[in-house]
Structure 1
Amino acid sequence: MNKIQYENIVTPAGRAIYPWLINPDTKFNALGEYKVSLSLLSSEAEPLIKKIDEAMEKAKALAPEGKKIKLQDPPYYNEVDVDEQETGNILFKFKSKAQIQTKDGKTVRISPKLFDAKGTLLRDVDDIWGGSKIKISADLAPYYVGAVGAGVSLRLKAVQIIELVKGGGNADSYGFEATEGYEASSEASQSGFDTADAQEDF
């Protein structure tokens, strides 16, 4: 089986849907998962879709030669509203494990790093609600598993908060403006993200 190196990607700023970024979701996985869906305009989504589709071809190449390959659904799909009508946006699904087991049997807890619009590392965010405007850093991970087939996962690494929504409100209700962004007073750290007004993400 061929080995493959994961590619890191940084998304454009989009709207967070059902974010689990502060505490992991344990409903279907006792070890917990951090996860979030990101809503992007279809025009902004095209470069990421292209990268995912290219990674799917790499995932197929991981299968044994001559074996019929079952393909998993890609980690993106058309967004629909409450009336099941397409919005014109694309949703991307990101997730990461909250715990991993090392070779010596130890359990290591991991969580996505959070940064503000200026690239400052955040350590005291109480919660991040749906509707927050964020960018995501993730590993584009092709895989092949005999029991399930070939696919691509978007492994969540870090999140940059451009506009923070807390307590169930939306960005407009809090008076946020994308050009100003969310800025914290915590100690600066290298984030790997561009500033909030960056235009090129791929």
Structure 2
Amino acid sequence: MAKGQLITFPKGTSVYPALNRPDTKFDELGQYKADFKLPLEVAQPYIDRLLATWKSHVGKAAKKTENPMFYFELDDDGEETGNVVFKVRVKNKIGKNGKLWDRKPCIIDAQKGDFPVDVAVWGGTVYRVQAEVYEWMASGKKGVSLQPIMVQIIDLKTGGSKGDASAFDEEDGFTAPPEAGNRSAFDDDSNEGTSAPDDEDY
């Protein structure tokens, strides 16, 4: 797997995503997260490819139970659930011009149209993630991480209100226009692309 290659994963269930705005709990500039889980039998081919990339880049095998690419989900009793969680994250940076480099991934809907910016993506949403396999080296250390490039929302879970839309009738009047734009990134699971600018995000 070459540096900068893109992987378009199959549909998975989101795990604590931060897509609408970055998570600033541990990084003041913020980190976008598109973590998701897959059943082990579906995840295994991707695990194998990532482990091969790690060994080629780092020079030794990665630990399956402790690495920056994925982990095995555990239940409340500490037992494996049979799911694998892929860690797909990217931190914002301050550019050479002193301005914030907002690295928010592109979000599209199920029809590959632009996703509304004011709709929050919550945990439990089913989506497909396209990630860059980023081979990094910093301070004498090497590693491989997954950075989100594009996310396709398939089955949205989001915050709701206490209102009930069924109490209203359809009326003549304002109708929201369809979102403009279209994307083709999810036509082919073997999609590859140009690497984002190198940094020391890992």
Shorter chain as normaliser: what TM range? 0.7 to 0.9
Q: Pick one of 132, 138, 141 that aligns with 1:145.
A: 138
2-structure distance, mates of 1:109, 1:150: 24
1-structure distance, mates of 2:43, 2:106: 23
Instruction: Name 1:201's counterpart in structure 2.
Output: 189
In the TM superposition, residue 150 of structure 1 has moved relative to its aligned partner by 2.3
Instruction: Name 2:79's counterpart in structure 1.
Output: 85
Instruction: Name 2:126's counterpart in structure 1.
Output: 133
Q: Pick one of 42, 45, 61 that aligns with 2:43.
A: 45
Secondary structure class of the residue paired with 1:111: coil
Percent identity between matched residues is: 33
**Higher radius of gyration, 1 or 2:** 2
For residues 69 and 41 of structure 1, do their structure 2 counterparts lie closer, same or farther at Cα, with a shift above 3 Å needed? Answer: closer
1-structure distance, mates of 2:101, 2:137: 25
Question: Given residue 83 of structure 1, which amino acid in structure 2 is its aligned partner?
Answer: D
2-structure distance, mates of 1:146, 1:70: 19
Structure 1, unaligned stretches of length 5 or more?
Answer: 62-67, 169-183, 195-199
Question: Given residue 53 of structure 2, which amino acid in structure 1 is its aligned partner?
Answer: A
- Report the structure, 1 or 2, having the larger strand content: 1
Question: Is the contact between residue 15 and residue 38 of structure 1 (CA under 8 Å) also seen in structure 2?
Answer: yes
For residues 151 and 128 of structure 1, do their structure 2 counterparts lie closer, same or farther at Cα, with a shift above 3 Å needed? Answer: same
CA-atom RMSD in angstroms: 2.5
Question: Is the contact between residue 132 and residue 165 of structure 1 (CA under 8 Å) also seen in structure 2?
Answer: yes
In the TM superposition, residue 100 of structure 1 has moved relative to its aligned partner by 2.7
2:112 equivalent to 1:103: no
Question: Given residue 158 of structure 1, which amino acid in structure 2 is its aligned partner?
Answer: M
Question: Is the contact between residue 70 and residue 150 of structure 1 (CA under 8 Å) also seen in structure 2?
Answer: no
Secondary structure class of the residue paired with 1:82: coil
Normalising by structure 1, report the TM-score.
0.75
For residues 110 and 139 of structure 1, do their structure 2 counterparts lie closer, same or farther at Cα, with a shift above 3 Å needed? Answer: same
Instruction: Name 1:173's counterpart in structure 2.
Output: none
1-structure distance, mates of 2:26, 2:70: 20
2:69 equivalent to 1:75: yes
1-structure distance, mates of 2:55, 2:102: 32
Question: Is the contact between residue 114 and residue 122 of structure 1 (CA under 8 Å) also seen in structure 2?
Answer: yes
Secondary structure class of the residue paired with 2:35: strand
Secondary structure class of the residue paired with 1:18: coil
Secondary structure class of the residue paired with 2:147: strand
Runs of 4 or more, structure 1, over 3 Å off, are 68-72
2-structure distance, mates of 1:134, 1:70: 27
